[in-house]
Structure 1
């Protein structure tokens, strides 16, 4: 099966590193024109260089904007007013205990992880519906289904994304536009990787040992038994964005390594 997205314009928020960068690279490999987004021009240009090295024929542009604010979202849509594919990938975890989270922390992570996707989807969805084709993907997490005690705020935002995604899919029903969520499990991304590296340095362990310990203590139900790669997450997203996935709509697709113990 070949996922051919030639002629499609894709916007991937938060695509200068980690899962977002892998998704942008995957979409470019499938032939889509890709708009890269990150907080700074330096990071955006670096990401474009990385993607172009992997896909020399890629058609790329970039928009530097802070997606945790309405102004940042407005800057992105002003620079790229239309899209065939929207991947709401931007997100973060604060890695604070529940007791240490301030009101400002809760509001910040909600603005970044949830409202960024709400704002972008609100802008791009109507034109997709008018054209009769489009793909909207929210990058949620298995933490939406298994809220983690060590990241209560993060789990809350990821559950909210599922509600937004399904609700928007209902709004776009029978239009040719699909709206889905993808739920990664523990993934060796830049953000999580830096946390693991910090633990490894503090404890004198290898990264592999820290990952194993995290899975044993926090995700013991993992069937994969290791962290996923960002490319493995991106593979699912590229498929969901393809024509072949036209009947996959309004659903939450787990790429969690079997962490969630459920058959549905």
Structure 2
């Protein structure tokens, strides 16, 4: 399928591993000029070196307004202007535990990283995108936005906020040619879920494979394929939404979740 992306420019945040890295890879393979960002400069440089092409790399803390301003400056310098495409994939699991156990700091850090980083990233670049008359913004949300889990309510709330942000942006800028959508994965094989499963294995006194298996059966019974998703399976959906083939899709959420969300 011809995606008609050659010559476009893109920023991918959260790009040093997992979904973000594979999204950057696939965009490069489609002829897109890409800038990538993540928190740790060394990790980002190593990851960027494994991508199939040259990229602009900007290490930035998206919870910092100063860092976001620097991100804007360096990305626009590297790409020759505001990106045509923004993929906001940066995020953390955040504060976990029962609601009464999570303090204000845990809530604030989770919301700052998972929701406000998307707000700040889009806000930094939207004015430069608008005169182009063409643009794509894809926000990473989660199945947790649709069916919250008791032990990670801050993450669920942040991802539900991403849905509302996406919908609001889609209504605001579609008339200017900027289409805004989101992708909602469930339990993907990324460093974030690797860490979750290592912790679970320690708690259960078992190995990681058994921790994954028990998590699927006990916590994610709706995932009919019975496995973790692969990051490239999510990245494929993101790149499609960035393309001309998605020219009539706006304000939508594409669930890449093996059926985990059990509502229509």
- Relative to the length of structure 2, the TM-score reads 0.93
- 1:152 is displaced (CA, Å) by 0.5
| Mapped contact 1:36–1:47 kept (Cα < 8 A) | no
User: Secondary structure at 2:155's aligned position in 1?
Assistant: helix
Q: Which residue of 2 aligns with 1:158?
A: 159
Task: Count residues in correspondence.
Answer: 258
- 1:204 is displaced (CA, Å) by 4.6
1:222 and 2:223 matched: yes
In structure 1, distance between residues paired with 2:103 and 2:210: 32
| Mapped contact 1:5–1:32 kept (Cα < 8 A) | yes
Q: Which residue of 2 aligns with 1:48?
A: 48
The aligned runs of 1:25-40 (5 Å cut-off) are 25-40=25-40
The aligned runs of 1:44-193 (5 Å cut-off) are 44-51=44-51, 55=52, 58-81=53-76, 82-94=82-94, 96-97=96-97, 98-193=99-194
| Mapped contact 1:142–1:256 kept (Cα < 8 A) | yes
- 1:187 is displaced (CA, Å) by 0.7
In structure 2, distance between residues paired with 1:66 and 1:123: 14
Structure 2, unmatched stretches of 5+, are 77-81
Indicate the larger mover: 191-200 or 209-218. 191-200
- 1:99-145 CA-to-partner distances (Å, cap 9, x unmatched) read 33211111111111111111111122233221110000100001000
- 1:157 is displaced (CA, Å) by 0.2
User: Secondary structure at 2:86's aligned position in 1?
Assistant: strand
- Relative to the length of structure 1, the TM-score reads 0.93
In structure 1, distance between residues paired with 2:199 and 2:157: 25
- 1:202 is displaced (CA, Å) by 5.1
Q: Which residue of 2 aligns with 1:200?
A: 201
Q: Which residue of 2 aligns with 1:11?
A: 11
In structure 1, distance between residues paired with 2:110 and 2:66: 16
| Mapped contact 2:19–2:231 kept (Cα < 8 A) | yes
